[in-house]
Amino acid sequence: MTEITHNPLSQFSIKKFINLNLFGVDISFTNSACLMSIAGIVALSYLTIALRPKQLIPSKLQLSAELLYNLIASMLEQNVGTQGRKFIPLIFSLFMFILLCNLLGMIPYSFTVTSHISITFALAMMVFLTIVIIGFANHGLKFMKIFLPHGTPWWLAPLMIIIELFAFLARPVSLSLRLAANMIAGHVLLKVIAGFVISLGILLKILPIPFIVALIGFEVFVAILQAYIFTILTCVYLNDAINLH
């Protein structure tokens, strides 16, 4: 039991809270589902409380919500253009969900939802399929032009098509792996250094504590940064679907 407790990877294990089975399919309510539900509730509660007064001179809470909204709006406008404004609800929801899942995972004895590739890959596939649907809806078969950059010599065209197609299909993999790997690495390192407090002698137990404090601050920064990176890459990919190259 002790060995399992101190295993740095044990913090990522899925635990069932409510065991449910529907027609042979396991739909149990797990710690992962619980944290995702909490993230949704926190986001909805925060935005409702912050924006309900709608004061001319905004409060600090209202100002923070407006700054987050303006961040996503400017991100879309810079990467996609004015046509990207219609996708603000999608991109803003994606950013808030990933951000809160990352930050809630920093709470002791909590669970980091975005450390599981199944979650991050599902988010990345949602983005990928949305971009493909928007691309074909806006441009029809002309959307295939993204696989052949303008000005490519004819003799280089077959190779460029293969490279661009591979890069395009690899987008959901790179998006999901980047987010999950960063969250796993930081939490594992934090657990390993925290384990030194237990294993070291009485006089040396205090030595890892400054590193733990610094690492927690760095992990909070990474949690915010990874949500931003996932979102801005989504905007870049969305630009391909709307404006092609």
d(CA 8, CA 245): 44
Q: Binning pLDDT at 50, 70 and 90, where does residue 6 land?
A: low
Q: How far is CA 107 from the centre of its chain?
A: 17
pLDDT of residue 94: 94
Q: Binning pLDDT at 50, 70 and 90, where does residue 172 land?
A: very high
pLDDT of residue 151: 76
Q: Binning pLDDT at 50, 70 and 90, where does residue 3 land?
A: very low
Please check the confidence at residue 4 and state whether its pLDDT lies above 60.
Answer: no
Instruction: Tell me the CA distances in angstroms from 231 to 3, 75, 215, 242, one per residue in order.
Output: 38, 9, 24, 16
pLDDT in tens, 189-218: 888 887 777 776 666 677 778 888 888 899
Instruction: Tell me the CA distances in angstroms from 29 to 5, 18, 21, 35, 42, one per residue in order.
Output: 23, 5, 10, 10, 19
